[in-house]
Amino acid sequence: SARDGLGAYIAKPESYPSSVVINHNADFVAIYDMFPKSSLHILLLPRDQSKTHLHPFEAFEDAEFLAKVKAQVYKLRSHAAGELRRKYGKYSAQDKARQEALDLEPPPDVLPAGRDWEKEIVCGVHAVPSMNHLHVHVIAVDRYSERLKHRKHYNSFATPFLVPIEDFPLSPDDERRHPTREGYLKRDFVCWRCGKGFGNKFVELKQHLEQEFDEWKRL
C-alpha cells in the first residue's frame, strides 16, 4: 500500500539519485520528503529490520537503539543546517565566489556572528505516523511549502502531535502517548513564530506563513 512507500528507500538506497537519497549507510537512510511541509524537509529512516515496523514510541523504548538514532538525527540536523546556510545565509557560496572573483576579502570585524541554523530545525516523530516504516522528520521550522495544503499538515508539525526526538525516552505518563488524533490536528491555528491565532482560517494562516518565512530566512 501507499503507506509502505518508504520501504523502497531502505531496501535499495543506492538506486536513487542524490536529489532523493541524501546519504546512507548500513544502519540508516536519509531522504528528502517527497511532499515537503517546509522549505527543507528530510526523513531519517533506520534500517534495523526489528525496528522499522514498530511505532516510534515502541522502537525508542530500546535505549541503545534510541541513542544511535539520536546521534544520527543530530548529524543529519547539522547537514540540514548547512543546506539552510547555503540557501539563506548572508554569506552564501555565491557571495563568496563573487567576492573572490573581485579579489575582495570581507573585512573580518564586520562579519556577523554566523546564524545558528541548527536552531531553525526541528527533529521528531508524529504521535500517529501515517507511513508504516519508522522515520524521523528533520524539518526547518518555517512550515512554508506549496505542499502544505491541508489544515492537518500544519498542525501535525506545529502541535504536540510532533514529538521532538530529544523528548525520548517519554515518561510512562506522557500524555502524547495517547494522542487523540483529532485533538491535536483539529486545534485552532497558532503561528509557530509570533504566536498569533488564526482560528480555523487556513488561507489567512498560509498568507501569514509566507510573510513570516520572508522575515525568518533573512533574519
Tell me which residues are annotated as active site.
135
212 belongs to the binding site for Zn ion (CB under 5 A):
yes
Burial class from Cβ neighbours inside 10 Å (0-12, 13-18, 19+) for residue 62 reads: middle
**Kind and range of the H or E run holding 30:** strand 28-32
31 belongs to the binding site for ligand 5GP (CB under 6 A):
yes
Number of residues that bind ligand 5GP (CB under 6 A): 10
129 touches, from Zn ion, ligand 5GP, none (C-beta below 5 to 8 Å by class): ligand 5GP
Residue 118 C-alpha cell reads as 541548527
DSSP string, 115-153: P-GGGGEEEEEESS-SSSS--EEEEETT---TT--SHHH
d(CA 127, CA 55): 9
Report the nearest approach of ligand 5GP to the CB of residue 28 (Å): 15
The site map against ligand 5GP for 123-152 (x = CB under 6 A) is ---x--xxx---------------------
The site map against Zn ion for 87-106 (x = CB under 5 A) is --------------------
Stretch that binds ligand 5GP, among 28-36, 69-77, 85-93, 112-120 (CB under 6 A): 28-36
Report the nearest approach of Zn ion to the CB of residue 159 (Å): 16
**Kind and range of the H or E run holding 65:** helix 63-88
**Cβ contacts of residue 95 below 8 Å, gap of 6+?**
none
d(CA 189, CA 210): 15
Cβ closest to Zn ion, residue 166 vs residue 204: 204
Nearest partner of 125 among 191, 182, 70, judged by Cα: 70
Cβ closest to Zn ion, residue 34 vs residue 194: 194
> Which residues contact ligand 5GP by CB under 6 A?
5, 31, 33-35, 43, 126, 129-131
> Which residues contact Zn ion by CB under 5 A?
191, 193-194, 196, 212
